[in-house]
Amino acid sequence: MQKIMVGIKRVVDYNVRIRVKPDGSGVMLDGVKMSINPFDEIALEEALRIKERGTNVEVLAVSIGVADTQQQLRTALAMGADRAILVQSDTLVEPLTAARTFLALAKKENPDLILLGKQAIDDDANQTGQMLAALWDRPQATYASKIEISAGKAAVTREVDAGLETIEVDLPAVVTVDLRLNEPRYVKLPDIMKAKKKPLDVTSFAALAIDSQALLKTVKTEPPAQRQKGILVKDAAELVDVLKKKGLI
């Protein structure tokens, strides 16, 4: 194995309380802390661990987004990625556009493995990895909780409804990762300083011949309904009576 490509998405930090714009046109982002999507951070950590097992592997972090996405890519470089590519776009990127973009980069970079988070915490689409594998015509393994690489193959333990399932796929392949795969490392200040000298290339949809036209339209964004105040009941009989009055049983 010579190269692993890791997809990185810029999202609102998971610790931040999401606020909807007053006009319902989207989520408020001004002054909000942004971070690497947690699942993508796990994917990057796994790529770095594969590299650290003694194999001569280049780890390439790629992302699609606004110019400020370079901050998240610099974090990926500080974690240990060798170089990064940003496909700059000021518009919302849909999963199919992301998959087509990753495909174009894969054709140029020829990675042996593409690692992605199973989903992004902003849209929870869980589509990009599967779409990329189909467009690339390569094997895929989703919801990975363990990855072992040997002899041009990847043995992936994945989480399914019935428990755990282990499959073997030929490389190159697309693997999407789950929470239990690993715990990402903390970034140290010396590594942040070193990351400033690592290469970060910026390109565009036009340079990659990607049609970025949106196929979906967001009509309105609404916050979740407020939870109703709970009530305290004396016993099971009173609980059943309350549920009947609410038409729940």
pLDDT tens digits, residue range 79-131?
Answer: 999 999 999 998 889 999 999 999 999 999 999 999 999 999 998 999 999 99
* Residue of higher predicted confidence among 173 and 26: 173
Q: What would the pLDDT profile of 142-182 be if each residue is shown by its tens digit?
A: 999 999 999 889 999 998 888 899 999 999 999 999 999 99
Q: Is residue 69 a contact partner of residue 35, using CB atoms and an 8 Å limit?
A: no
Higher pLDDT, residue 141 or 31: 141
Domains of the chain in start order, with CATH, are: 3-245 (3.40.50.620)
126 Rama class: left (phi>0) / alpha (psi -120 to 50) / beta? left
**This prediction's pTM:** 0.87
Helix axes 128-136, 95-109, angle to 10 degrees: 50
User: What's residue 101's pLDDT?
Assistant: 97
Q: Residue 8 and residue 133: Cα distance in Å, rounded?
A: 17
Tokens for 220, please give them: 């309105």
Residues 6 or more apart whose CB falls under 8 angstroms from that of 143 comprise: 118, 158, 159, 160, 176, 177, 178
pLDDT at 165: 94
